[in-house]
Amino acid sequence: MANKIPRVPVREQEPKVRAANFEEVCYGYNEEEALLEASRCLNCKNPRCVAACPVNIRIPDFIHQVLEGNFAEAAAVISQDSSLPSVCGRVCPQESQCEGSCVLGVKGEPVAIGKLERFVGDWKIENADRMPAPRIERNGRKVAVIGSGPSGLACASDLARMGYEVKIFEALHKVGGVLVYGIPEFRLPKDKIVAREVEAVKRLGVEIETDVIVGRTITIDELMNEEGYEAIFIGSGAGLPRFMGIPGENLNGVLSANEFLTRTNLMKAYDEEYDTPIYVGKRVVVVGGGNVAMDAVRTAKRLGAEATIVYRRSEKELPARAEEVHHAKEEGIEFRMLTNPISIIGDERGWVTGIRCIEMELGEPDASGRRSPVEKAGSEFEIPCDVVIMALGTSPNPLLKMTTSGLETNRKGCLVADEHGATTREGIFAGGDAVTGAATVILAMGAGRKAARAIDEYLKNK
């Protein structure tokens, strides 16, 4: 049963144009395109895509509803398993999840599941006002959620639907966690998508208080003993940046991807109306190969710099989403693969002038199954640049562990939690990057929802 319709291409901003602005790269499907793409789904009896989705969204079912033109129904199917379809449709690594296991992909191109999910999510946002507000019976029991990223938002909205009085405490001045400080506007629009997802959570009755750094402004114990919260969900993410520990890393002009992206995304330094400064110089080198590295390098390009990725493995091992790598290349980003920094060089005033690297070759596979890179002796060389951005991953903030007795973390500083999200202390649950270390939006969202069920279970039996 061959499928004759080719995958419906998605409209995008011209690479040359978009490399100089912060507007969203991808326009997404319109109704006509979505219907056509939906018609490609074979509606398999044993849908491999569902098994490959971290939260097992009933993909053929929602696509079938799209094909029938029942967009509200399609949204309802997705929302059984995911609360952030507009976001996940944009940022999930579909090629290694749902689309990567689509039968059509064996011989041709898989169904554009991500783009269809995005279409449904955006439709839901656009039409949210027309949908009746859910009638929820309140049970008067209070649950606090720490962090307003994907796991916190998902956990809070599920708990609110179950009738709990939920309050989210956010450390920053803006709600959304990594969705607002990390992922750039050109990949995930803040006003059009993130702010409206947050609005939807508030409509369920969830309260959000910003500027509260739990562990400093108030402790978990105070929340439980003085403010009457019967259970806590920790979704504080993995916010601490890593550096390489090579010489020259504290020169002026070396910064973490977190700093660079926070300045542009959260503080909107790219907009001259905003006060926060940013410095890119003429040439920027970004070290790393993940999504954050792609976000940083493409942001640098948009701010007017020549921008280069330096990554120690080969292109095949790049952990970033395939679409981001493709977009980055289209935008003129230079990729230096099998290259590892050994030191950063500066002038007599202490400002970066270049990065010294060594060529690598791939050796035996390591624990992660990827072939580990080894240095090629005598291959050192220098890339001149003004700014070096380190995108080497992040780890969880130790603040909550430090200020809460009985809360255990593992060797990597991640909170210890069981499969339902229960931590080592009664009444405290956790999920997302704070537990797994830096991972994906969909896993965090899924963990938040699981924890909501576990919290409900716990409070019912308390």
Partner 1 sequence: MYTILEKRTLAENIYLMRVHAPRVARAAKPGQFVIVRIDEVGERIPLTISDYDAAEGSVTIVTQAIGASTRKLCAMEQGESLADFAGPLGHPSEFVGEDLEALRSKRFLFVAGGVGTAPVYPQVKWLKEHGVKADVIIGAKTKSMLIYTEEMSRVAENLYIATDDGSEGFKGMVTALIKELIDNRGKQYDVCVAIGPMIMMKFVTLTTREYSLPTIVSLNTLMVDGTGMCGACRVTVGGKTVFTCVDGPEFDGFEVDFDEAMRRQGMYRTQEERARAIAEERRNGHKCRVGLDK
Provide the binding-site residues for partner 1, judged by CB under 8 A. Answer: 171-173, 181, 210-213, 216-218, 239-241, 243, 245, 249-250, 252-253, 255-256, 258-259, 262-263, 266-268, 272-279, 349-350, 397, 399
CB of 277 to partner 1, least distance (A): 3
CB of 214 to partner 1, least distance (A): 11
CB of 267 to partner 1, least distance (A): 7
- Return the number of the residue (53 or 303) whose C-beta is nearest partner 1: 303
Q: Is 264 in a helix, a strand, or coil?
A: helix
Minimum CB–partner distance for residue 155 and partner 1 (Å): 21
d(CA 301, CA 303): 5
Q: Are 281 and 387 in contact (CB under 8 A)?
A: yes
Whichever of 85 and 241 has its CB closer to partner 1, that residue is 241
Q: How far apart are CA 380 and CA 378, in angstroms?
A: 6
Helix 59-67 and helix 71-79: axis angle, to 10°? 170
Closest CB to partner 1 among residues 350, 384: 350
Cβ proximity to partner 1, 160 vs 352, nearer residue: 352
**What DSSP designation does 128 have?**
G
Question: Cβ contacts of residue 56 below 8 Å, gap of 6+?
Answer: 50, 81
Residue whose CB is less far from partner 1, 32 or 273 = 273
- Tell me how far, at minimum, the Cβ of 396 lies from partner 1, in Å: 10
Distance CA 8, CA 258 (A): 35
Classify 76 as helix, strand or coil. Answer: helix
**Dist CA 313 CA 292 (whole Å):** 16
Q: Which is nearer to partner 1, 280 or 338 (CB)?
A: 280
- Distance between CA atoms of residues 361 and 377, nearest Å: 10
d(CA 206, CA 202): 5
Distance CA 39, CA 440 (A): 29
Q: What are the Cα distances from residue 5, in Å, to 33, 41, 75, 85, 265?
A: 12, 10, 25, 25, 39
Minimum distance from residue 49 beta carbon to partner 1 (Å): 35
DSSP string, 284-349: EEEE--SHHHHHHHHHHHHTT-EEEEE-SS-GGG--S-HHHHHHHHHTT-EEE-SEEEEEEEE-TT
Q: Which residue, 128 or 399, has its beta carbon nearer to partner 1? A: 399
CA angle 164, 165, 170 (to 5 degrees): 120
Shortest distance (Å) from residue 272 CB to partner 1: 5
Measured from the CB atom, the residue of 252 and 314 that comes closer to partner 1 is 252
Backbone angles phi, psi at 39, to 5 degrees: -70, -10
Tell me how far, at minimum, the Cβ of 264 lies from partner 1, in Å: 11
Residue 438 CB, shortest distance to partner 1, in Å, is 12
63 versus 172: smaller Cβ distance to partner 1:
172
CB of 349 vs partner 1, minimal distance in Å? 8
**Least Å from the CB of residue 280 to partner 1:** 11
The alpha carbon torsion through 302, 307, 313, 315 (nearest 10 deg) reads 60
Q: Which is nearer to partner 1, 210 or 379 (CB)?
A: 210
Q: Which is nearer to partner 1, 82 or 262 (CB)?
A: 262
User: Going by C-beta distance under 8 Å and a sequence separation of 6 or more, which residues neighbour residue 85?
Assistant: 75, 78, 79, 117, 118, 120, 121, 124
The total of other beta-carbon atoms located within 10 Å of residue 42's CB is 14
